[in-house]
Amino acid sequence: MDLEGYARRLWNHLDESQMREELLRWLEFYKGKRELNQDFVDAVIREVKNSENFKEFSFTRVGLTAGDSGLGSRGLGDNLIHLKLFELSKRNLETFDDAGIVQDIVVSVDGIHSRLSYFPFLAGFHATKATLRDIMVKGAIPLGILVDIHLSDDSDVSMLFDFEAGVSTVADALNVPILAGSTLRIGGDMVLGERISGGVASVGRLQGEPFTRKRISEGQHIVMTEGHGGGTISSMAIFHGIEGVVEETLRVKDLEACLAVRRVRNLVSSMTDVTNGGIRGDALEISEVTNVSLVIDEDEFLSLINPRIRKAMNELGIDPFGLSLDSILIFTNNPDEVIRTLRDNHVQAKTIGEVTRRRGYPIVTRDGREMRPAFRESPYTPIKAVIGNYSPMDLDEIKKRLERAYLNSLSKKEKVLKNLKTGSL
């Protein structure tokens, strides 16, 4: 419960006495009846009042929420948002990779899965696996891990230790040290409840040319490794009440595959992981960079999904091509040798397709069926199924509002940057 956000909403609809009564009700719900509650509520109202004098440092609403825009939902909406973020931060748009590269140093950061707050060990485990995977698919050797974890005011400290245990499990398995971290509360005293948020970052060093997506080209074969899922599949199983699936995600076959590829790196052009909205999302991002299409064999693709996970997805009617599987895609002209090396290192893999010139859509099947990109990833929890795979706004309207938000923030950036350069700040 965000008392500050709630107070800001109430400010425009209730008088001060009604605001006080409503805030007190929620405070007592979480904290019980305490002598300081009334003073606390008075302080919340006073802080919100005072902050109204600093609107120039706040943001300008454009009427597009994170949910309606598809932010973080790994589909077309998320893709549009990241393009504008790249533009604002002047990040290189040539690669569209999850990891950043400076000279021979590779860095990545992954937030914890939003639905795993009440399962912090899983949240830490899968976020760590994700950030290490992002640098390792570029061909980097991991040097260290950084942790950032935020707890709400009512979070039990066991959540912090479970999260750290999840992180350090992966770190110990790969013998990668945890270098630094930060532990804070979400919103300080203003956010009640137990939800946690945060992320895990990693840094690595390249050996040779990075396996960027811009190295993917027509004629290459696509090798895919076995997929056991991560935070997304864990959330699917937990919130649908399916037993025996979460345990299957607690593997590091994806990272082991990246380590094995180092033995034949001269045969590999590029690598990426089947995450951001599944292979549909990966193909969209690859196509943005290279203007090619991926032609895949559906049966071979499906055969590499962990059997328990595939069975659960079938029973739930979830599209396996639109969900994160944590498999590795390897682009090569020597698929047999790559597959042999992976199998020698106890990682199952198959050739699932090839790269061709652009065929209208980023991904098509061997029989020519187009797999169109979706607005969001496949709905994998009951709540996501209710929301559906669409937005109440069409893409043109979303683009207009994103542009407005981008220009507002750019103006603020340029104003402060100008002051910094002239020394007038």
| 13 & 78 share domain | no
Is the pLDDT at 61 greater than 70? The verdict is yes
Residue 362: which CATH number? 3.90.650.10
Separation CA 257–CA 272 (nearest Å): 12
pLDDT of residue 72: 72
Claim to verify: residue 217 and residue 110 sit in the same structural domain: no
Contact between 294 and 363 (Cβ < 8 Å): yes
Q: Are residues 218 and 328 in the same domain?
A: yes
Q: State the chain's mean pLDDT as an integer.
A: 91
Is residue 165 located within the same domain as residue 35?
Answer: no
- Give the pLDDT confidence of 66-122 residue by residue, as tens digits: 888 877 767 777 778 888 888 888 776 556 677 889 999 999 999 999 899 999 999
Q: Are residue 343 and residue 370 in the same domain, yes or no? A: yes
In a domain, 62, yes or no: no
The CATH number covering residue 198 comes to 3.30.1330.10
Lowest mean pLDDT: which of 55-69, 100-114, 336-350? 55-69
Percent of the chain residues past pLDDT 90, beyond the cut = 69
Residue partners of 404: CB distance under 8 A and separation at least 6: 62
Examine residue 375 and state whether it is found in any structural domain, yes or no: yes
The parent domain of residue 21 ranges over: 3-57
Find the mean pLDDT for residues 195-200: 94
The more confident residue out of 379 and 131 is 131
Task: Work out the pLDDT band at 141, boundaries 50, 70, 90.
Answer: very high
Q: How many domains does the chain have?
A: 4
- As given in the structure block, the two tokens for residue 339 are 């597959």
Q: Are residues 371 and 419 in the same domain?
A: no
Q: How far is CA 39 from the centre of its chain?
A: 39
Q: Alpha helices of 274-394 — where are they, by DSSP H?
A: 278-290, 298-303, 307-316, 335-344, 382-387
**What's the confidence (pLDDT) of residue 108?**
95
**pLDDT on residue 78:** 77
Predicted local confidence at residue 219, as pLDDT = 96
258, 341: one domain: yes
